[in-house]
Structures are given as structure tokens and as C-alpha cells.
């Protein structure tokens, strides 16, 4: 079950960073919005894996430059491997990558595309409010990877996403009927929508309907007539 959460109460949030000042600063920002959340911390990959396995957080906010264990050197590659591990073994985990090395995520783009939990990217240069927006989107089960798209060429859209587009906007079907037609669950259809909207740079905006925005962008890109 995708951990798409909207309530602030009872949230369990794991923050992973090997810099104590950044760790405490991130928690301070999060506490202002998620006042009733339980916060867990980890400074190494080993500690992070243990915390996730034992405590099953609703959300992970993590840096990429991490040490494997205490005394080891922090490296972005190590954090990327941790992220791949988390997505493989906790497919519905909501994740926010808060790092200055977000472009390294291109190495695991296929893993991100199939991850069923929320997945957003927050470069460390973002304001606190922008970072909190990324957290909120992840908790809703949304995907936002715009910050790593500079290394891609062309629009990457999977066949199943295109099928959802056509069934919705060419045949006018509801998500329930689309799920039946594709022989998948409605939750999977919502997952396809999230990945498609990320590919089209369609994200929540006040006063705008995301489905309408998705249809407009899809037509602009020539994905549907």
C-alpha cells in the first residue's frame, strides 16, 4: 500500500545526514510543520538500514553523500546505493532526497521510475518552504525529479503511461475502468499518473486541476491527438 499521507499526526520521519548541524537544521524545519511527528536520525548507511528495517518510517529525508559506517568517508555513490537498496526492499516508502549531488540520481533513474512510494528531490539550495513543499508531495505519494532532468535528452514516457493517457483522454475512461482494462489495481493507475505528471513537469498548483494540466501538456508534447 502506498504510504500517501496527508495528516501531520503520527508521522514517523527518518532523517539521514552525516553532518550533525544539517541533521538538526532539517529536523527543526520539519518540526515547524509536522509538529506531532516522531523524528528518527541516522548518520551512516548501516544505521539508516537498521532504522528503516526496525522502525518502518513513513518518510525518509536523506542526503546522498554518506559514509557506509562510522569512520568511513562520505561519498555520493554510497548514498545512491543506499537509495537503490531502500527502493528495492521498501517499494512503498516515501522518500525525499535532500542533497547537493542530485544529478547523480540519473544513474538509478529506472529504479526511481518504478518506485511506488512518493519520491521527490530537494536540492540543498532550496528555501525551507520549497523543501517543505517537496516533503508534502512525497507524503502524498507524488514524484518530483525535475532537478535531475538536465542530463536527459527528450521526453521519457513508458508504454503503460501512454496507455493511461489514451484511455483517459481519448476514450474518456475513469481510473477504475482504466485499471480494469489494463488488468492492474487502481493504486497502480495512480502510480502511472504520478510518474507521467513528473515526466511532463506537472505538479500541484493552487487553483489548477492536475488532470487538465496533464492533458494540455500531453497534447503539447504530441503524446495524444
8 A C-beta contact, residue 98 and residue 9: no
Phi (first) and psi of residue 144, to 5 degrees = -145, 105
Res. 151: pLDDT tops 90: no
Q: Which residues contact 141 (CB under 8 A, 6 or more apart)?
A: 2, 3, 4, 94, 117, 118, 190, 191, 194
One domain for residues 183 and 90: no
Under the banding of pLDDT at 50, 70 and 90, the label for residue 154 is low
Q: What is the pLDDT of residues 78-130, one digit of tens each?
A: 999 999 999 999 999 999 999 988 888 888 888 998 999 999 999 888 899 99
d(CA 225, CA 204): 24
Report which of 56, 67, 59, 13 is spatially closest to residue 36, judged by C-alpha positions.
13
pLDDT of residue 172: 93
Would residue 3 count as lying in a domain? no
Tens of pLDDT, residues 58-76: 999 999 999 999 999 999 9
| Number of domains comprising the chain | 2
CATH number at residue 213: 1.10.10
Clarify whether residues 120 and 67 are in a common domain: yes
Q: Does the pLDDT at position 3 exceed 60? A: no
**At which of 151, 174, 204 does a domain end?**
151
- Whether 8 has a pLDDT exceeding 60, the answer reads no
Helix, strand, coil shares, percent, the chain, to 5: 50, 15, 35
Segment 163-182 shows an average pLDDT of 94
**1 in a domain, yes or no?**
no
Closest CA to 144 of 79, 188, 97: 97
- Which of the 8 DSSP states describes residue 74? P
CA distances from 175 to 35, 183, 191 (A): 34, 12, 11
Helices of type H across 3-99: 20-33, 45-55, 76-89
Same domain, 99 and 175: no
- Transcribe 102-163 into DSSP letters: GGGGGGGHHHHHH--S-EEEEETTS-HHHHHHHHHHHHTT-EE-GGGGGG--S----HHHHH
Q: Other CB atoms closer than 10 Å to residue 48's CB: what's the count?
A: 25
Residues 119, 31 share a domain: yes
Enclosing domain of residue 58 = 12-151
Phi-psi sector, 152: left (phi>0), alpha (psi -120 to 50), beta: beta
Spatial distance between the Cα atoms of 183 and 165, rounded to a whole number of angstroms: 16
Residue 200's nearest CA partner among 216, 219, 217, 224 is 217
pLDDT exceeds cutoff 70 at 2: no
Say if residue 63 is in the same domain as residue 144. Answer: yes
To 10 degrees, what angle do helices 175-182 and 186-199 make?
100
Question: Residue 149's pLDDT band (boundaries 50, 70, 90)?
Answer: low
What's the CATH number where 71 sits? 3.40.50.2300
Give, rounded to a whole angstrom, the gap between the first and last alpha carbons of the chain.
34
Quick one: 37 and 105 in the same domain?
A: yes
Q: Is residue 196 part of a domain?
A: yes
Amino acid at each position: 500500500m502506498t504510504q500517501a499521507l496527508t495528516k501531520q499526526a503520527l508521522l514517523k520521519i527518518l532523517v539521514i545526514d552525516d553532518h550533525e548541524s544539517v541533521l538538526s537544521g532539517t529536523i527543526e524545519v520539519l518540526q515547524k510543520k509536522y509538529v506531532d511527528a516522531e523524528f528518527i536520525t541516522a548518520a551512516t548507511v548501516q544505521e539508516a538500514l537498521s532504522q528503516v528495517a526496525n522502525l518502518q518510517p513513513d518518510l525518509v529525508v536523506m542526503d546522498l553523500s554518506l559514509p557506509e559506517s562510522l569512520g568511513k568517508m562520505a561519498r555520493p555513490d554510497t548514498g545512491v546505493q543506499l537509495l537503490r537498496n531502500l527502493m528495492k526492499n521498501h517499494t512503498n516508502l516515501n522518500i525525499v532526497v535532500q542533497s547537493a549531488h542530485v544529478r547523480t540520481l540519473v544513474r538509478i533513474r529506472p529504479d526511481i521510475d518504478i518506485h511506488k512510494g512518493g519520491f521527490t528531490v530537494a536540492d540543498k539550495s532550496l528555501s525551507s518552504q520549497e523543501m517543505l513543499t517537496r516533503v508534502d508531495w512525497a507524503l502524498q505519494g507524488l514524484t518530483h525529479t525535475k532537478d535531475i532532468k538536465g542530463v536527459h535528452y527528450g521526453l521519457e514516457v513508458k508504454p503503460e503511461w501512454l496507455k493511461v493517457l489514451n484511455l483517459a483522454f481519448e476514450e474518456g475512461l475513469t481510473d477504475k475502468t482504466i485499471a480494469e482494462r489494463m488488468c492492474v489495481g487502481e493504486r497502480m493507475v495512480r502510480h502511472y499518473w504520478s510518474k507521467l505528471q513528473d515526466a511532463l513537469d506537472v505538479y500541484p498548483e493552487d487553483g489548477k486541476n492536475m488532470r487538465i494540466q496533464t492533458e494540455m501538456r500531453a497534447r503539447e508534447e504530441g503524446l495524444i491527438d
